Amino acid sequence: MMKYIRFSLVLFSAFLLTYLKAGIPPVTADGEVVSLAPMLKQVTPAVVNISVSTPSPIIDNPLFNDPFFRQFFDLPEARPNQSAGSGVIIDANNGIIVTNHHVISRASEIKVILKDRREFNAQLIGIDPRTDLAVIKIPPNQLLAIPMGDSDKVEVGDFVAAIGNPFAIGQTVTSGIISALGRSGINMRNFEDFIQTDAAINPGNSGGALVNLKGELIGINSNIISPAGASAGIGFAIPVNMVKAIVSQIREHGKVERGIFGIQIQNLNPNLAENFGISQTNGAVVNRVVKDSSAEKSGIKVGDVIIEINQIKILNANHLRSQLALIPPNNKFRLKIFRQNKIYTINSVMNPPISPKLSQGFSNKSPSKDIGITFANNKSGVVIAKISKNTAAASWGVKVGDLVISINGKKIKSTSDIPKLDSNNIDITLRRNNSILKIIRR
């Protein structure tokens, strides 16, 4: 019994310590139970409701706008569609609000409703569909902005609150924790590096705020995964550091300009990590370098494992892709790479988006049909005898001694069966220690 009591006290002490570190007292001076209310009173006025009018199909057709035509065919009166979302005031002095692009993408009119029920017509400043962000502006009339946090410092398990206007019922607050970081693959056309949370996010929450217990903005709520269309405890927010970079460009240029670094990358999986002799599996492997690109000029090589960019640790290939997309053209940045059991720091600069030389294609420091593998016969069949450095195969995870089963659907029994190989189009099946390894490149 005493052991149970001691264990409970330890848990309770840890709970109190968590809230003390967050700057929130566990008990008020009057003996009241701790609450998020004081923090929320400070930040909720900065979260707004966005009402959007979009043209109906009837309005889109000029013929249907004719009253006689509508009456003759007994058509309903043409009215614009209404939709709702959320937004966050990030600059009170200038009336700047950030929201999701998909909230206002087809808007003919954007109306902002504050928590105190004041309404303003908003002006669209700019959009970036690739990160699903948009910036709008209202008159700076007694507004309150939300303080910005640092999304690079958040951790799985941190307590958070989501604020928005779900189902257009009015401002609502939900709470939870950060469930995961660096989520991607929701929409492969976009640059994604989502914060995942179990704080309930529902339709209408899009564009709302994800805040920490200090009342700092750490993300803009954007997506959910749910078979029923409502919250299932899997919600995603755009990290505030990505928001800062995108909003800065939109405010300065009216749009987002992206450059070209000149690499093709893939995830650092356990097989590749073992092949490169690196203990971690976080990072991105360079498997191609664009000829005459900034990447080639700065010394990036095929087989390099990029583990940091501007002191931000890289989780995977998509994380690096999203971080590179935030660097404007002609801006300098720093990479940390792992190459041949050593760590190097490389300084580079982002190329402008249009460069005729970059259209010449990729370079692997070897002919396109030399993938970098030397094959040999032995009593078991055809095996890999050598893998050349700085070639396409150096980043595939293949090893000397792997038994070749088939290439491009053709069974391989001897080296004479090996077809002409092109690193751009290959399907090779290998056997290693009674396990099957399949390499597909398209």
Number of other residues whose CB lies within 10 A of the CB of residue 346: 16
- Out of 83, 151, 206, 322, the active site residue is 206
Q: Could you tell me if 294 and 262 are in contact, meaning their C-beta atoms sit under 8 angstroms apart?
A: yes
Q: Where are the domains of the chain?
A: 2-35, 45-256, 263-363, 373-441
Question: How large is the average pLDDT for residues 325-352?
Answer: 92
d(CA 7, CA 12): 9
The predicted structure's pLDDT at residue 205: 87
The one-character DSSP state at 412 is -
Q: Could you tell me if 98 and 247 are in contact, meaning their C-beta atoms sit under 8 angstroms apart?
A: yes
- Of the CA atoms within 13 Å of residue 244, those in its CB half-sphere come to 13
Number of other residues whose CB lies within 10 A of the CB of residue 27: 11
- Out of 91, 102, 152, 355, the active site residue is 102
What are the start-end ranges of the H helices in 77-152? Answer: 101-104
269-317: per-residue pLDDT in tens?
887 888 778 888 899 999 888 888 899 999 998 889 999 999 999 988 8
94-115: per-residue pLDDT in tens?
999 999 999 998 888 999 999 9
Question: How large is the average pLDDT for residues 195-220?
Answer: 92
Most confident range, picked from 3-12, 132-141, 384-393, 424-433? 132-141
Is residue 226 flagged as an active site residue? no
- And the tokens for 332? 């300098």
The residues that bridge with 332 in the sheet, in sequence order, are 349
Per CATH, domain 45-256 is 2.40.10.120: yes
Q: Could you tell me if 309 and 284 are in contact, meaning their C-beta atoms sit under 8 angstroms apart?
A: no
Torsion angle, alpha carbons of 412, 415, 419, 424, to 10? 90
Fold identical between 263-363 and 373-441?
yes
Domain at 263-363: CATH architecture? Roll (2.30)
- Out of 51, 86, 132, 402, the active site residue is 132
Question: How large is the average pLDDT for residues 383-405?
Answer: 82
Torsion angle, alpha carbons of 160, 239, 192, 182, to 10? -60
Domain 373-441 fold is Pdz3 Domain (2.30.42)
Is residue 355 flagged as an active site residue? no
The residues that bridge with 337 in the sheet, in sequence order, are 306, 344
pLDDT bucket at 332, cuts 50 / 70 / 90 = very high
φ and ψ at 238, to 5 degrees? Answer: -75, 125
35-68: per-residue pLDDT in tens?
888 999 999 999 999 998 876 554 445 555 555 5
Q: pLDDT exceeding 90 applies to what percent of the chain?
A: 38
Is residue 101 flagged as an active site residue? no
